[in-house]
Amino acid sequence: GQSLEQPSEVTAVEGAIVQINCTYQTSGFYGLSWYQQHDGGAPTFLSYNGLDGLEETGRFSSFLSRSDSYGYLLLQELQMKDSASYFCAATWAGSYQLTFGKGTKLSVIP
Amino acid sequence: EADIYQTPRYLVIGTGKKITLECSQTMGHDKMYWYQQDPGMELHLIHYSYGVNSTEKGDLSSESTVSRIRTEHFPLTLESARPSHTSQYLCASSEGTGTSTDTQYFGPGTRLTVL
């Protein structure tokens, strides 16, 4: 089947940099998205990688390596408001559907 | 700015009741989705639609049904609610650009509790 793996929890200090990894099954893989969800809130789109390499959007960057079946989300200059769950989500060739990972709960501490 | 709405936001009902969760979007998006998410867990796709009169079941088996009579409206119905249906239900929509790179915009969700 189509599945993604990401760590369940990460803790980091305010002002630091944190990387959240995501590995996926390669069969039919098309692209990798990242979504942020605060407790009690709805997921919001952060970034998308359709090609290998780094995509930068302000303090957030996302990276994809198709040869390694791996991507990551990089958060810089962490702020307390970045405490949330982060989901990687894959799209597969010929489908608009997203398959979500189980999510990584990021806790930013002072 | 995404405009997608869900009502009710919270619902507590008794077992056996019929309920309809409403979802509307004002962006003219062709594609709409329903996800089920338990607290702290991943999102599971239960239904999706690629346009009017088009509906399909998702990866997670669900006893709910959906309809898509108008582009902007994608209601989800449970004919007979059970405690196992207690969860958060998230509606989403996407533009459908002809590729697989659609960004999905989510509504605020309906938190359903069945007693």
Supply the DSSP string of B38-105, one letter for each residue: -TTS--EEEEEEEETTEEEE-SS--S-EE--SBTTB--EEESS--GGG-EEEEEEEE---SSS-PPPE
Query: What integer pLDDT is reported at residue A16 of this predicted model?
Result: 97
CA–CA min distance A101, chain B (Å): 6
Q: Do A45 and B103 touch (CB under 8 A)?
A: yes
3-class secondary structure, A82: helix
pLDDT band at A92 (very low <50, low <70, confident <90, very high): confident
Query: What integer pLDDT is reported at residue A3 of this predicted model?
Result: 86
Of A12-16, B5-9, B36-40, the least confident? B36-40
Query: What integer pLDDT is reported at residue A30 of this predicted model?
Result: 87
How many CA atoms, within 13 angstroms, populate the side-chain half-sphere of residue B8? 9
Distances (CA, A) of A52 to A9, A65, B30, B110: 26, 5, 29, 37
What's the rounded Cα separation, in Å, for the pair B8 and A103? 26
Task: Indicate whether A90 pLDDT > 80.
Answer: yes
Chain B positions touching A96 (Cβ under 8 A) are 31, 48, 50, 94, 96, 100, 102
3-class secondary structure, A22: strand
CB nearest to B100's CB, from A30, A43, A87: A30
**Considering Cα of B98, then B1, then B44, then B73, what sign does the dihedral take?**
negative
Taking the Cβ of residue B10 and every Cβ of chain A, the question of whether any pair is shorter than 8 Å is answered with: no
Query: What integer pLDDT is reported at residue B98 of this predicted model?
Result: 54
pLDDT in tens, B25-42: 999 999 999 999 998 889
pLDDT band at B95 (very low <50, low <70, confident <90, very high): confident
Task: Indicate whether A11 pLDDT > 80.
Answer: yes
Percent of chain B with pLDDT over 90: 81
Percent of chain A with pLDDT over 90: 79
Q: Do A96 and B40 touch (CB under 8 A)?
A: no
- Which amino acid, one-letter code, is at A64? L
CA–CA min distance A91, chain B (Å): 6
Q: Do B101 and A42 touch (CB under 8 A)?
A: no
Query: What integer pLDDT is reported at residue A29 of this predicted model?
Result: 87
